[in-house]
Amino acid sequence: MSIWRYANPTQFMATTGWMLPLFGVSAAAFVATGLIWGFFFTPDDFRQGSTVKIIYLHVPSALMAINAWLMMLVASLIWLVRRHHVSALAAKAAAPVGLVMTVIALLTGAIWGQPMWGTYWAWDPRLTSFLILFLFYLGYIALWQAIETQDTAADLTSILCLVGSVFALLSRYAVNFWNQGLHQGTSVPVATGGRTVSDVFFIPLAISMIGFGLLFVALVLLRTRTEIRARRLQALLAQSTAVE
């Protein structure tokens, strides 16, 4: 028996068929709760005023922009090692979602940066790394688009994802060395060990982050299902022409 047995789109379709609505509904609920709570039911910051409220969009999207790449990295590794087709397609499906998250993070950051720092853009390490992440997403998606043979495309994009991850990490620390920057440190308590943000702000932020996470999962599932259907269509067409 060959490696192909591990790839099981049928099983994936059956399982995600009932999971997708659950994720979709809960994502909508969490995102709506987090954003509405954050925008309308939290006090203004004493220094930043109401501009601080963009944090409920900015932080979750930035978080998911990075997590989407990490998910693609894991999925690429699974494809390279186990040749699991669904894994390759999931990586392909996640890329545009990650790209959009990166764009949201960059745009909301620019809108937030204008009143706070007096500029839409600064060559700050965090901002610059996100711009580089954006470029990596573009390259990854472009490579998928360019190659016709699906398995080869999966192979090559996986390798690109691995190499790109290493270089993205290198770039992240290289820019630190270059410019110390304006961006504040993280304000998520898990990452800092203590609390720098009061619960009033943090709870809606956490809800929004969970919501974006669920939204990401729902979108990736949906897109992966679409990709699997497209592949099945392709396979069926190839089969019907082969029979003639």
Q: Which residues bind another protein (CB under 8 A)?
A: 2, 4, 7-10, 13-14, 85, 132, 135-136, 138-139, 142-143, 146-152, 155-156, 159-160, 162-164, 167-168, 170-171, 174-175, 177-178, 228-229, 231-232, 234-236, 238-239, 242
Beta carbon of residue 122, minimum distance to another protein (angstroms, whole number): 16
Rounded least distance, CB 66 to another protein, Å: 16
Closer residue to another protein (CB): 22 or 170:
170
Nearer to another protein among residue 30 and residue 136 (C-beta): 136
Instruction: Kindly tell me which of 70 and 236 has the beta carbon lying closer to another protein.
Output: 236
Q: How far is the CB of 59 from another protein (least distance, A)?
A: 24
Least separation in angstroms between CB 26 and another protein = 24
180/239 with CB nearer another protein: 239
Two tokens at 69? 């790449």
User: Of the candidates 111, 106, 92, 174, which has an alpha carbon nearest to the alpha carbon of residue 135?
Assistant: 106
Nearest CB to another protein, comparing residues 175 and 221: 175
Q: How far is the CB of 205 from another protein (least distance, A)?
A: 30
Residue type, 175: V
Q: Please state the closest distance from residue 214 (CB atom) to another protein, in A.
A: 24
Q: Which is nearer to another protein, 144 or 212 (CB)?
A: 144
